[in-house]
Chains A and B, each alone.
Chain A
Amino acid sequence: MIDPLEALRAQLARQVGHWLHAADQLTDFGQLTSEDGWHRLERYLGVALRAMLAKCVDRLRRQGEVLRAELAASETEAELGRLRDEIIEFRSRYLHTEAVLEFYAEAINSRTSDVLGAYLRACDTLAAKAMDVALRPLGIARPPVLTYVERGLGASILKAGLRLWDGRSISPAAAIKIARHNMQRPTAALHEVGHQVAHLARWTDDLAAALHEAARPAGPEVARLWASWASEVGADAFAFAHAGYAAVAALHDVVAGAPAHALLLLPGDPHPVAYLRVLLGRAMCTRYYGAGPWDDLARAWVHNYPLARAEGGVRVAIEASLARLPDLVEATFERRYAGFGGRALRDLVDPIRVRPDALAELERAAGGSLFTSDHWVDREALRMLAICGYRVAVAPDSVDETLKVQSAWMQRLGARTEVA
């Protein structure tokens, strides 16, 4: 039987060895991510991600080396006790680092084929273009975009510039999840891009104040609610400004679930009640486009989701909000914001460019080349997305055909992007 102190030391030494080895294993990205996946990323994005992940793992390994040195230096029971605490701390760091790696590995691995890889690169490009429109006039550098596919109903974003799970690494790219069912209608990615832009331009607080003011006639509680929904209202507005009615119709199709959900207000939820979100989108269309198919959508919406089914307080809030929708739209798009350099959202991204008649004019100008020419794909990809989304919204009988066209030009867009 060995000395208890030695026995304690031996147990700790094994654990140190184990975790250091595990940390070393993380350096081999190939164990987590297929090389094919990496090669389906845009080159600069690949470089940025590899650099961040390598730095993240390197930091963990350096911490591990400190652990190894402390093991060598620990002699007393107290020192070994401190070492044990540090091993526990290191395990936690390891798991956080692993979480970072796994998040990106899964995102990259979602590019399971060349076709999907090209499609997602097209989504990256669309998101990047949407950001450029807003950020370039503001002199704000645009981060890379990494879109990935996952199950579920809605999209989401891990914004670039945020601290990651390991507490040290910074997210190097806007990682946008696109729900598999919505892959062919990726206007939701524009909503997520809106979050990133708002974050970089520090827009949300000012927007919250503006919404609060616009909703105040409906009562302080309603005003407070709208202020709390500012981040999502801003993102919806951004998607609308870029994609017009297509964004509203796509949002409708995502939130058109059971009435209980459409009329549900969850405390602390940054999303407006779905019932109001859809009608706010319709109000945006009305404000900038006048009458149109969105009116039918709204009629059907209120028919399908009668307010009577809403919980009492929620119904009151919704009813009080309805009259405020035009003012809320006005505040969102037309007010000048400090974060936008004294400009309004409309000055940065003008929804008139995707008004149905403007889209028709683009179709006329480009003729048969619209979806086949690299010129138009490069120059008008965002409006092409708006056109396809509009067609899907107003001509549901031709959805398959429209989405085939969209898939083809997005393949073309993605295939032209240089890969890692």
Chain B
Amino acid sequence: MGTAANGFTRSTLATQGMATPFVDAGMTDGFAPAPVAPRVPVGPPFRVSSPPRVASPFRSDRELEDELSPWNPASEIVDETLASLHDEVFDEVIHDLVGEAAAMAVESRRGDYGDAGRAALRAHQVLADRFHPLAADAERLLGEVAEAAKVLDLSSASEAEIDAALEPMRPRVAAGAPAFEQFLGSLFRKAKSLVHGAAKIVGKGIKAVASVLPIGLLLGKLASFVRPLLSKVIAFAVDKLPPQYRALAGQVAQRFGIASKITGALGQAAGAIGLPATALTGMLPTAFGSPDAPAAAAPVNSAPSASTSVSGTASAIGAPAPDAAGDADGADATTELAAPDTSMVQGEIDAQLTELLLASDEGEADEIASEYIASARAPASDPTGDLDAARTRFVRELESLGEGEDATPAVEHFLPALLPVLRMAIGAAGRDRVVDFFGGLAGQLIAPVVGPGVAPALGKAIVDTGMRTFLQAEVAAPAELHRVGAEAVARTVEDAARHVGALPAHVLGHPALLESHAREAFDRAAAANLPGSLLRPEHREGVDRGAWAPLPRAGRPYYKRYSHVFDVTLTPALAGSIPTFGGGTLASFVREQLRLTLDRPLHARVHLFEILPGGRLSHVAAGESLPALGTPHGRRMFHPLTPEVAGALLHHPRLGRRVAGGADPLRSHIGERVYYLEVEGAPRRVVDAPSRVHVSLDLVRDEARVCIFLGETLAQQIASMVRGRARAAAIVHELRTALASHARSLSAEGGHRRVHVIGGGGGALHHRHHASHVSHVSPLRRAIARASVEWAWARLAELFERSSADFVHAVESSPPGVTLRVTFEHAPGLAALRAAGKGGGTGLPVDWPPAVTPPAKIDVKPGHEH
């Protein structure tokens, strides 16, 4: 046991309760811990006052709702229009387009070791050049749609007539086609929705909407959005945060008396797309609070999507989701979005189109459109650039530490850079105390692994831990090993600081509690960044010789890869019990997307990854060369690694990470872990879209819609049964069994993304914002949603009994997969939900569930229709 000049030894630390998670390995012998005692804050604890809850009288009928909130048809039009414009596939397409552009940007920078600023500019230019033809194709497509739409009389045209007139313009997009082609397909659907939206408004004959502008003009405006939209995509791709369209068109909003609703909700949506707190202070209205304001009073963590779907608890970059920040039990959940949320693109476009539909004249429309176009010309911000630079400095400072030198100052230099991306639940003064305390604590805890004698050995240990295959080429010299070690220590400090920053106010304000949580965070961060062999066994999260390495080594790392690959045997029972993104299970993934049979155990290798700040699943997919990876589209090959999954699949539950609000493949969180399943015999290609079940509870139209997308495999299997004249009961049984986990997931964590509420109690925008604060679907919504799905099975059984010709025709048509939309007009339970939205009771009707299945209208369409 070494004794440093200052007299401290590791045993001294231990007696002070400051044991580090590191083993007393020979590597650290001779190096004493830093001599600085933690500077524990002594200030008064903080109090966070919660807004008082006001119980509303329990009345659930429509009349009461009208009393509470006078019916505003224009408001409902906004809700309805936004709902009808929203297309969840559009979000995916934009995400993939960003991924593809990011991969192009990386490619354009390959081998460029010059000035980073210039390289970024060049990448931007390369992308602009590559996107130019896409923009031209998109504008041409919208021009053709406009020509076809001009002949329609929107006051009398039925939905079917509109579809028939526009369908010939639909671009043919093959399954697995590049994102560019998918984008054109999505844009077509958006244009079609715009035409339908205009027809609905015209059909309603609302006084306030004297007339809808000519559809050709509206589609022309949509065409004018294409290039600004693609500019934003490019900004996302080069790790910038594109400027947002914010509250606008005051005239329109005020004319309809919905100004506060639109401006507020859009502003919040803008604030949720990943803006760091410092930027928020400068850009958002004061109503959104400042970083110093208590989280409970600063609703910046609204859903990241300005869409009708509830977009999870995803928070702004660096800001913990409210439920996690306010609940110490949720402290082990990953809460921070890793990269700006690309779904803002659709949110903005939908809001723009809605405003255009409500515009009174061409001048107003011009004004609305020009504001959006102008927003795209504003410079994009760089939300994590400062942090990247600070991290680099921190690593250098750690590298330059002398023998036995205290690392605390280096930590303290680094922490301020983290503050803008942390949204701590305490005021500025308390924050300084927490930072001061954490700096001292971290300085001591990392003492055994910093310094010229130790850090290279740490680097070597990391490299030796099975990582030679992907690190050796770049790492060989002692200086490089030193850097690898210092980087791991820096990431340990950063991860721990992020975790501490997300702690609730009562923990941050209590010294003993704070120290306990901070040490726990440090242990956890060390386990996530340093080889298991260097940690005490009780702190290891995986195999002894496992370690995480940031990748890619050249340039900005977006993810980490675990050095150990697990061999697993996937039995049907195990695969059926492991949930994956979107409500499916590993079993459905294997059957439907890998198209393998699970009638016997499959041998698979499990590769683990962790998302770093700035990272998306598409970065991991593009950066890896495993089968079906190597391109951003491979993102569908990943599955969320929760502690439960890590326990069941790998027998190492600590390798899993919980994501607040449930994992979402389009919105990765910092520290989120995913895995890739390398299954023997799986095809080496990008997999198709999985089956999904969504429920829309539309309070505007007073209907519940169950939207079931059958992926191509399931659709074909059902079609085979139909052709084989299987009984309707057998077909529905097959459907229910295949989609059982999807139905269950409606009420599980993350289920709120699959149960949409439209209108009522403040409109769709209100619901988006409101719902962002909960990761679970409320019991009322859950009950209605689940009942709707059960009703849907019953009505589908009748469809298959009656005639399946439409279904078979849709299966045999392009695009792949089939959408079954089952609509229940005046569905039971909606009145109660509407009342609950107005602050009324939250209970179900006494006669719930209804004894009779409500009547339904069933639409069968090829492909994934929203």
Contact = CB atoms under 8 A, between A and B. Distances in A.
A binds B: yes
B623 to A, nearest CB: 15
Interface stretch (B315-323, B469-477, B716-724): B716-724
Contacts of B174: 415
A304 interface: no
B684 A366 contact: no
A374 B688 contact: yes
Contacts of B685: 416-418
Given A367-B719, A418-B685, A373 B816 contact: yes
21 contacts: A43-B630, A44-B627, A365-B720, A365-B723, A366-B716, A367-B719, A367-B720, A367-B808, A367-B811, A369-B719, A369-B811, A373-B811, A374-B176, A374-B712, A375-B712, A376-B716, A415-B174, A417-B685, A418-B631, A418-B684, A418-B686
A42 interface: yes
Nearest to B685: A416
Given A372-B812, A417-B683, A418-B684, 4 more contacts: A365-B720, A366-B716, A366-B720, A369-B811
Nearest to A379: B595
Contact of B684 (A42, A132, A375, A379): A42
B175 interface: yes
A367 B628 contact: no
Closest 4 A/B residue pairs (Cβ): A368-B812, A365-B720, A375-B716, A378-B595
Interface in A360-407: 364-369, 372-376, 378-379
Main secondary structure of the interface of B (DSSP, over half): loop
A382 to B, nearest CB: 14
B630 A418 contact: yes
A58 B175 CA distance: 42
Contact of A44 (B595, B684, B713): B684
A369 B716 contact: yes
Contacts of A43: 625, 630, 684
A378 B176 CA distance: 14
A373 B176 contact: no
Nearest to B814: A372
Given A374-B175, A375-B595, A136 B680 contact: yes
B203 interface: no
- Size bracket, chain A contacts: 20 to 34
A375 B627 CA distance: 19
B73 interface: no
Contacts of B681: 132, 136
Contacts of A369: 716, 719, 811-812
Contact of B176 (A365, A375, A416): A416
Interface of A: 42-44, 132, 136, 364-369, 372-376, 378-379, 415-418
Contacts of A375: 595, 712-713, 715-716, 816
A273 B149 CA distance: 70
Nearest to A417: B685
B680 A365 contact: no
Contacts of B680: 136
A42 B625 CA distance: 13
A369 B625 CA distance: 32
A369 B175 CA distance: 14
A350 to B, nearest CB: 15
B600 to A, nearest CB: 10
Contacts of B712: 373-375
Given A44-B684, A374-B175, A365 B628 contact: no
A140 to B, nearest CB: 12
Nearest to B716: A375
Most central of A136, A374, A376, A416 by chain B CB within 10 Å: A374
Contacts of B723: 364-365, 367
A365 B724 CA distance: 7
B469 to A, nearest CB: 14
B178 to A, nearest CB: 12
Contacts of A378: 595, 683
A366 B713 CA distance: 11
Contacts of A372: 812, 814
Given A373-B712, A375-B713, A418-B630, A367 B812 contact: yes
Contacts of B719: 367, 369
Interface string B565-602: 00000000000000000000000000000010000000
Interface in B334-375: none
Contacts of A417: 683-685
Interface in B675-701: 680-681, 683-686, 688
Interface string B143-183: 00000000000000000000000000000001110000000
A417 B627 CA distance: 10
B418 to A, nearest CB: 39
Nearest to B809: A368
Contacts of A374: 175-176, 688, 712, 816
Contacts of B716: 366, 369, 373, 375-376
Interface string B611-631: 000000000000001011011
Contacts of A373: 712, 716, 811, 816
Contacts of B175: 374
A367 B717 CA distance: 11
A418 B816 contact: no
A368 B174 CA distance: 17
B734 to A, nearest CB: 14
A209 B135 CA distance: 68
Interface in B796-824: 808, 811-812, 814, 816
Among A43, A132, A368, A418, find the residue whose CB has the most chain B CB atoms closer than 10 A: A418
Interface in B624-642: 625, 627-628, 630-631
